[in-house]
Every structure is written in structure tokens, then in C-alpha cells.
Amino acid sequence: MQIQYQTQRLSLRFFMLMLVLFVVQVIYGMILAAQQVDPTLLQGWLNFNVARAEHLNLGIMWIVCGFIGAIVFVAPLLAKRELVAPWLIKFLFYAVIGIVVWNFFTQFLAERGIAGWWLGQPWLQQGLEYLEAGRIAGLLILVGFLILAFVVLRTFPRVREWNEVHWGLGLGVGALAVVWVFGLFYVARLDLQEYFRWFVVHYWVEGVWEVIHISLIGYFLVLMFKADVKSVGFAVFWGIALVWLSGLIGNAHHYFWIGTPEFWQFWGSLFSALEPLPLVFCFWHIYLDAHTNKRPLENAPAFYFLLGSTVLELVGAGILGFVMTFALTNVWSHGTWVTAGHAHLALFGTFGMLGIAAAYYATPILRKVPQFDPRLGKLGFWLVFIGVLGMAFAFAIGGTVQVYVYRILGLDWFGGDVNRAMGTYKVMLPLFGLVLSTGAGVLAYDLFTLGRRMRPQAAVDAETTPHPATGWRRPLTGFEAGIWLLLMWLFGTIITLGLLSFNLPHVRVAGDPTLPYVLAGVGYPGLLLVTLLFVWRFIASLEARASAPAISPLLRVLPAQG
Amino acid sequence: MSCGSGDSSCEKPRRRSALLLLGVMALIFIALSVFSFLPSRGQATPDAVSFGPYQANDGKRVFQAYNCMGCHTMVGNGAYLGPDLTEVYRHAGPAWLAAFLPSAGGWPTEAAVRAQLLDPNQHADTGTDTIDAYLQKYPGAAARIQRRGGGTTLMPNLPLSKDEIGQLIAYLKYTSAMNTEGWPPKVEAGTLDRRLQLAHGPIALAQVVPAAAAATTPVASDPAAWGAQLVKDYGCVACHASDDKKLVGPGWGGLYESSVSLADGGKVSADDAYLAESIRQPNAKIVAGYPPGVMPAYDTLLKNDEVDAIVAYLHTLEKQ
Ligand code: HEM
Ligand code: HEM
Ligand SMILES: [Fe+2]
């Protein structure tokens, strides 16, 4: 396969930048995990809050780089013409680097208490979770989003000719900028500040990013499996509609305890409980679309990551979000490591993996090596996948212990009581973090050097060795996929009940943690294992296609015409 | 109309009804939001809260400038390295905070909190002037002093100024006053002893609890060593470094017998009498470059031999 438009090439630099920032971000993650074990580590040089600000901001930045790369790659295809003003996209690339470097330095000012107040605004850094960047960086980021929106919308055909993918991406890049504006004001009241901070954080991930995600996944499925644009369009439409219809008021799940009135508990619990719907929908579609034809996978790593992204969106965002989205469960999980488990699985799983999938799809085409060696990419996938599942486990179980010691027993001495109880899981976190980091390194190395390395003969041989398509490798039926989905929700329900059980007098007053511990101890490992097995099973069934008896050329073309 | 080619959409009618529904929801959301911030809700606001001369509004800026939310949660949002700060003022009170914040690397002792109570702002804010009444009113302070007092913390020392500390206390007073709909949930699992036992079991408990109590035996035979202990107990080191570094107050290293410039333009030699006076009545002579009224007067807190021991300790400190 070849690129059709020269400006698609501009995506490559964003993918490479994404990988660099990803690697730096996980290094910060390892520092944080180590500081959670020993908080005096690097104290005075790189305090936890500065490292955390970098970790969060880089996480957002590399995911956005992945989006930009993917959008720059597909926009000309969708528009059937070159990007307008490619120089703006080149400028955007250097602007992103400039902002990242600037933010790296200004975050350190938090150690001296310097925010750069001027005209009532913090210009250098502002110490709000996820929005740590100061106003200078914030305004530059806004300009960046406007550039992206301008280029994409000017490149696209007239609105009358848009299909659902155009709509998804068009609305997505526009809303990306609009939502960011709510983070650009200093707000003196704490309740109002948090109210608007979640406009950015919640409406980004659960409004805008999910929309961009669902559109890109849909379009990549069209590209990879020649899936029918109409059926993908249907999925994208319902995906977007459900995301917004549930997520708009769903934002209220952040308004339970920030000082806003009680009625939000009703609205938030009700509507955000519906937020997993579009994710189940998208999950189902990747099953259907990957089975529109029976051809072998052409680009295994790209598909691995697309699958990982969709499955982890369901599990990490949908299910682990669902379990703590009710006022009665959130009252316990709120402000503990339980939320961090959700955050990692959802953010890295859904959006991080999408960027990597796009990079794997685009890079071989741009470097003209369609026959690249997929083994490192597959290895990298399994490392980051297992790593992030393990980290979610450590966060979630550690968080459950934290809920008991900190909230039920009310012991608030972290050095003496809380850390002591969470110790095992605090150590487990960097161990799985190391697995994820190794995977990040492997992926970055593979994608940097892809097409510049010799492809060893052994790889070619290994691929052509036939696997029998039976047992674990037999084709996945819709019925079986449904059973897997059901199992995931079963364990999700167990986790929900575990969090609910903290309300029981037996736990809350008598202080017996057995029930919540057992339910969490069954629910989390169950859910994460089912996820791991399902992805393995799905991939095994697709890999077996490579060895299925060669399908006659005629049959191969037929489904593609759909 | 064909939409299979990808050129145009086949979901148009549904798009319209979905948009309509979305509009209705947006209206609901906006209405709920407006109700949330009406004055009739009676929610605490920062411009109505102060601590002495310090405003909660300013404290919020300090809180953001140091990115406290990068290690702590506030109303449950933020990071999970340290405890939630929403109600720390309500539990531990302003004097404990004032003793803790200048040198957050160590937990304040009872004496250090007592020294803070001499501050008229504290007096006005807490309505108490004895340590016993204070600990009664803020049981969180009592528990902290008893279990951790004098120990080291996991928090880094931050270069907070005296004013910033007052402002932070005002801000934490505001967040404590906020109605957060019952979060964090009330603890119903019984007494502290019982809860500690549940957390650590009876055996491990022995290792967690005692620590602080053992530390404070006076070492009268060695006045300098005793003095070193006293400056820790009374929280002096929250504001003074043992070398010549400037923290909230001047560093002590090489201070003895040096010549000190005063705010009124005069000079004085730091002899025993000057040092003792600076402990008992710090506002009698203000060192150049420092505002008056920052350090509490230890006159009523320290006995004569304790002041002598501290002076003896100051003799031993070199410039570095
Ligand atoms: C891909 C989509 C999603 C991503 C990337 C994501 C990510 C996050 C992140 C980063 C946080 C903040 C954690 C913190 O700072 O403490 C969060 C909080 C939360 N998320 Fe999600 N999320 C997603 C989808 C969902 C969904 C679909 C639901 C509900 C079904 C959900 C429910 C929640 C809840 C209830 C919280 C609040 C936790 C608290 O502060 O108490 N999330 N999410
Ligand atoms: C080696 C891999 C990683 C490790 C060891 C790691 C570790 C950590 C740690 C220790 C925290 C702080 C939690 C706390 O405040 O106690 C954190 C926060 C966070 N990290 Fe990571 N991280 C890693 C990778 C990632 C990746 C790849 C992403 C997303 C792209 C990510 C996104 C986040 C987010 C959103 C938070 C805030 C969570 C919350 O507040 O609930 N991390 N991470
Ligand atoms: Fe949310």
C-alpha cells in the first residue's frame, strides 16, 4: 500500500514525537511509583508534585500528538485531497515541542511557590490537577488546537458531503479547542473552580476524545478490513450520540462532593451509568468489522493496538468507570488509588493505544516497508498490555485497602498508618510499571527503526509456519464474544458490590473489611484476567487466518466491494 | 440516497432528533448549574473567610502556587501521596497548622503548638488560650501530637513565608467551612485505639504508637544537648536553621558573638544577654530585614534554665 497524498507524510513526525514523550512520561511514572514507596526520594530536587505534573501533562501531550498524527494521516483520505496549509501543521509540530520544553521548566517553580501572578492570572504554572500548565502555555495550546481545527475543517469537503466519520472528526477537533477554554480562567471559589476544571477533564475524555476515538477506530477498520463505510458510519453515529447524551449530564459524577448541591448525586449516578453504552457498542463493532472478511491480518501490531484500545475502553473506562460512578460507591472510591486504576487503564488503554495503533498503521506505509517484521511490535503490545493491567490491579487493590484504613477507620497518618497498610501494592506498582516501561521502550525502538533494519529470514519463516485453526485458534463466533462480554460485566458487578459493601454497618461500624476485600479480590483479578484472555483469544483466532488455506483471489475481492 | 460510498450521510433524520434531545439535556444541565451557585444555597465562599489579617482568597493562590494538589487531595481531587486537606483545619486547628507549615519536614510537638497560641491571631481565631482547651477543641491536633509529635514527616520543607502561612490557614479554614454533602464520610468505627488495633493488629500496634513519648527527657547535665532538644520540642527549628541560612527567621550558625544589624539602624553584639532577650521578648530588638511580630515571645513558656540551655546550644553552632 502507498500513500495517496503527500501531506499524509506530515503525520510521521507527530508519531515519532509521541513516542519520545511517551517514553519520558513513563520514566516520570516510574519516579512517582518509587516516590510512593519512599516519599523522601529526590525530595528537594524533584518533588512528587512536580514529577506528577509532568507525568500528567506529558500523558496528555503524547496522546494529543497521537491524535494529530492520526488525523493528519486520515484527513486527506477523507477529503480526497491534500491538506490545506501544510506549513501550519509543520509549525504546530515545533510549537508542541516548544510548549513541552517551556512547561518542563515552569513546573519546577511550584517548589518555590511561584505561579507568575499578573492581571489575576497564574502565567507560569497554576497547580491544578491536569491543568498544571500556566496561562502562557495554556494560551499557546489553544492556538495549537485552533490551527488543527482550521486545517482539518478547511481540508474537509463541504458539510453537505460529510459522512459520519467527517462529522466525528470535525466535531472532535472543534470541540477540543472549545472545551479547553474553560481551563483558562482563574476561579476564586473552590467549588466553582472544580466545576469548571471538570468541564475540561471530563468533557475532553468522555466527550471529545471518545468521539475522536470512535471515528478514528471506525475509519481504521475501513482501511484495514475494507469494512463497509455505511455500517461503520452507523456505529460512529450511534457512538457519538450515546457518548454525548450520556456524558453531557454524566459530568455530574464529578459534582458529588466538591461543594455543589446534593441533587447532582441523582443526575450523575443516573446518566453516567449510561456512559458505558457507547463503549459496549464500539466493542461490538470491532468484533463485527474485524470479521467482515476472512483475510489474514496485514499489519498485526496495528490491529493488536486497535483491539487493545477498544477492549480497554470498555473495561478500563466503561466498567472501571461504572463501578465508581454511583454516589453510593463514589463516596468511598473518591480520592483514593481506586480512581487511579481507572485513570491508567482508561487513558493509556483507550487513547494511548489508539495513537500507537495509528503509528503502526501509518509508519510502514510512509517508510514503504509493507512487509515489516511485526514481532517487536507484538512483543511491545503484550508488554504494555500486561503492564497496564497489572498496574490497574495494584492501584485498585491498593486503593481498596486505602478506603478501609483511611475512610472506614479514619486513620489519616500516611507515614504511620495508610502507607503501612498499602505497602504490598505500592511495591507492586513499579514492578508492573517496569513491564509497561519496557514495552514502551520496545515500541519506540521498533517504530523509530522500522524499515531501517534488515528483516531476518527467520521471521518470514515463522509467519508462514501453519497453525491449525482449531481450539484456542478457532474462529471467534458472535456467541462466544458475547459470553466474554458477559463475563467482564459479571466481574464488574462484583467490583461494584464490593464498593457498595463499604456502606454496610458490618463494615462501616463494626470495622470488618472481609466482604469488600473478598469482592475486590475476586472482581479485579477476574475482570483483568478475562480481559487478558479475551484479547489473546481474539488475536489467536485472527492469526490463525494467516495459515488458513489460501482463499481464491476471486473470494478475496468480493467482500471488499460491500 | 446512497451513503455506502462514504460521500454523504444516512443518519440525517436521527441526527436531528438526537440534537434536539441533547439540547434538552444541555438546558437541564445549565439549570442545575445555575441553582448550584446561587447565594441562597448558603455555600461558604472565600471572600467571607479570613484568619486574622489574612484572606482565604489569597490563600487559595498560595495553595495553587505551591501545587499542593500535586501531592494531596482537596475535596477528594488531586494526588494520593498525602492526606486530604479539606477538613484539616477543622480537625487540627490553626495553631497546629502554624506550627507545622514552616518546617513541614517535622511533626510539631505540644510545646511548638503552645508557642503558636501566644499569637493574638490564634487567640482570636480559636477563642482559647491554653493548650488544654485547644486540644480539647481540636482533637485532631491532640492525636497528631501524641502519635507523631517530634517525628519526621514525609513532606518536603517548602519555603513558605509567614504571610503565606497565615493565608494558607485562612484558605483551609474556608475549605473546612464548605458544605461538601457529607464527604469525607464520617468515621463510625469507634475509638482511635480500636481503629488502630483494627488496622495494625495488637502486636504491630506496639511499633506504631509509642515513638514520640520517649523522646523528651531533659538532659540537664549537658545544657547544650538539652538546648538542642528544646529547640526541636518548641518548634524553633520550624523557622530557624542551624547554619546561617535565612528561613522565616535568621539562621543561628555563627550568630553567637557576631555583630547584628538591627531594623532601627543600630548594631548589637549577640552576647548571652541579647540571645536570651531575643528568645523571651523577640520584639524588643528586631533584626534588619525582618518584620516585627513574627516570632512569639517565649517568656512565659520557657523556664530560666531552659533559656540558658538553649543559649548554650546556640554557642555550639558554627557558621558553615
Ligand atoms: C476513555 C474514557 C475515560 C477516560 C480516559 C477516563 C479517565 C478518567 C480520569 C483521568 C479520571 C480522574 C481520576 C483522578 O484524577 O482522580 C476519571 C475519573 C472518573 N471517571 Fe473516568 N474516564 C473515562 C471514562 C469514564 C466512564 C465511561 C465513566 C463512567 C461510567 C467514568 C467514571 C469516572 C468517575 C466516576 C470518575 C471520578 C472519580 C472520582 O474523582 O471520584 N469514566 N476518569
Ligand atoms: C510506567 C508506567 C507508569 C507508572 C509507574 C505510573 C505511575 C503513576 C503514579 C504513581 C501516579 C500517581 C498516583 C498518586 O497520586 O498516588 C500516576 C498518576 C497518573 N498517571 Fe501514571 N504511571 C505510568 C504510566 C502512565 C501512562 C502511560 C498514563 C497515560 C497515558 C498515565 C496517566 C496517569 C494519570 C492520568 C494519573 C493521575 C491519576 C489520578 O489522579 O487518579 N500514567 N501514575
Ligand atoms: Fe468523568
Q: What is the CATH number of the domain that holds B156?
A: 1.10.760
- Give the lowest-confidence range in A12-26, A76-90, A399-413, B113-127: B113-127
Distance A348 CA to ligand 3 centre (A): 15
**Could you give the CA distance from residue A163 to residue B7 in angstroms, rounded to a whole number?**
6
Segment A281-323, tens digit of pLDDT = 899 988 988 887 788 888 999 999 999 999 999 999 999 999 9
Find the domain containing A328 and state its range.
298-452+471-546
Q: What is the ipTM of this complex?
A: 0.94
B47 contacts on A by Cβ (under 8 Å): 188
Give the three-state DSSP class for A117.
strand
- Give one word for A130, left, alpha or beta, with left for phi > 0 and alpha for psi -120 to 50: left
pLDDT, position A548: 53
Count of beta carbons in the 10 Å neighbourhood of residue A482: 12
- Give the lowest-confidence range in A13-22, A501-510, A542-551, B37-46: A542-551
The verdict on residue B204 lying in a domain is no
Give the three-state DSSP class for A418.
helix
Regarding whether B227 and B162 lie in a shared domain, the answer is no
pLDDT, position B202: 79
Segment B16-41, tens digit of pLDDT = 888 999 999 999 999 999 999 999 99
pLDDT, position A550: 47
Closest CA to A471 of A459, A462, A461, A480: A480
The pLDDT of A65-78, averaged and rounded, is 97
The verdict on residue B301 lying in a domain is yes
pLDDT, position A554: 42
Regarding whether B253 and B163 lie in a shared domain, the answer is no
Find the domain containing B240 and state its range.
223-315
Last-in-domain residue among B122, B155, B177: B177
- The grid cell for A109 is 517553580
Closest CA to A208 of A384, A63, A392: A63
Give yes or no for a contact between B297 and B118, defined as CB atoms under 8 angstroms apart.
Answer: yes
A560 falls in which pLDDT band (50, 70, 90)? very low
Q: Looking at the complex, report in whole angstroms how far the Cα of residue A20 sits from the nearest Cα belonging to chain B.
A: 24
Q: What is the DSSP string of A139-201?
A: HHHHHHHHHHHHHHHHHS--GGG--HHHHHHHHHHHHHHHHHGGGSS--SSHHHHHHHHHHHH
Regarding whether B84 and B148 lie in a shared domain, the answer is yes
Whether A206 has a pLDDT exceeding 50, the answer reads yes
Q: Which member of A40, A129, A233 has the closest CB to residue B69?
A: A129
How many domains in chain A?
A: 1
Segment A534-546, tens digit of pLDDT = 999 999 999 888 6
Regarding whether B173 and B230 lie in a shared domain, the answer is no
- B82 or A470, greater pLDDT: B82
Give contacts of B 89-148 with A, CB under 8 A. Answer: 144, 147-148
Last-in-domain residue among B177, B202, B236: B177
A557 falls in which pLDDT band (50, 70, 90)? very low
Distance B77 CA to ligand 1 centre (A): 12
A229 falls in which pLDDT band (50, 70, 90)? confident
Give the three-state DSSP class for A4.
coil
Regarding whether B158 and B89 lie in a shared domain, the answer is yes
Regarding whether B149 and B244 lie in a shared domain, the answer is no
Q: Which member of A192, A409, A414 has the closest CB to residue B37?
A: A192
- The grid cell for B171 is 484558605
Instruction: Let me know if B285 is exposed, middle or buried by CB neighbors in 10 A (0-12, 13-18, 19+).
Output: middle
Regarding whether B237 and B150 lie in a shared domain, the answer is no
Q: What ligand is nearest to the CA atom of residue A52?
A: 2
Last-in-domain residue among B108, B143, B177: B177
The pLDDT of B260-288, averaged and rounded, is 90
Interface test with A, best of B67, B162, B168, B176 (most A CBs within 10 A): B67
pLDDT, position A552: 42
Q: What is the CATH number of the domain that holds B266?
A: 1.10.760.10
Contact B81 A414 (CB under 8 A): yes
Scanning chain B, the segments in alpha helix (DSSP H) are: 12-36, 56-65, 88-100, 110-116, 120-126, 131-137, 139-148, 162-177, 192-208, 223-233, 272-280, 304-315
Strand partners, B123: none
pLDDT, position B296: 80
Segment B175-216, tens digit of pLDDT = 999 999 999 999 999 999 999 999 998 766 666 655 544 445
Give, for ligand 2, the residue of B68, B71, B72, B80 to mutate: max count of ligand atoms closer than 8 Å to Cβ: B80
The C-alpha angle A369, A370, A374, rounded to 5 degrees, equals: 95
pLDDT, position A464: 58
Segment A163-192, tens digit of pLDDT = 999 999 999 999 999 999 999 999 999 999
The verdict on residue B306 lying in a domain is yes
Query: Could you tell me which residues come within 8 angstroms of residue B257 by beta carbon, excluding any fewer than 6 positions away?
Result: B269, B270, B271
Contact A191 B178 (CB under 8 A): yes
- The grid cell for A533 is 484472555
Regarding whether B51 and B171 lie in a shared domain, the answer is yes
Count of beta carbons in the 10 Å neighbourhood of residue B249: 19
Percent of chain A predicted with pLDDT > 70: 94
Q: Is A29 in the pocket of ligand 2 (CB under 6 A)?
A: yes
Regarding whether B152 and B66 lie in a shared domain, the answer is yes
Regarding whether B163 and B231 lie in a shared domain, the answer is no
pLDDT, position A34: 97
Contact A249 B25 (CB under 8 A): yes
**Could you give the CA distance from residue B254 to residue A506 in angstroms, rounded to a whole number?**
61
**3-state per-residue secondary structure call for A221-233:** HHHHHCCCHHHHH
Tell how strand B259-261 and strand B54-55 pair up.
unpaired
The verdict on residue A210 lying in a domain is no
pTM above 0.80, yes or no: yes
Query: Average pLDDT of chain B?
Result: 88
Which residue in A has a C-alpha nearest to residue B5's C-alpha? Answer: A229
Q: What is the CATH number of the domain that holds A421?
A: 1.20.210.10
Whether A265 has a pLDDT exceeding 80, the answer reads yes
Give, for ligand 2, the residue of A23, A52, A55, A395 to mutate: max count of ligand atoms closer than 8 Å to Cβ: A55
Whether B305 has a pLDDT exceeding 80, the answer reads yes
The pLDDT of A441-461, averaged and rounded, is 82
The verdict on residue A6 lying in a domain is no
How many domains in chain B?
A: 2
Regarding whether B135 and B53 lie in a shared domain, the answer is yes
Give, for ligand 1, the residue of A56, A206, A338 to mutate: max count of ligand atoms closer than 8 Å to Cβ: A206
pLDDT, position B201: 85
Nearest CA to ligand 2 atom 42: A344
Query: Could you tell me which residues come within 8 angstroms of residue A73 by beta carbon, excluding any fewer than 6 positions away?
Result: A8, A11, A358, A361, A362
Contact B60 A332 (CB under 8 A): no
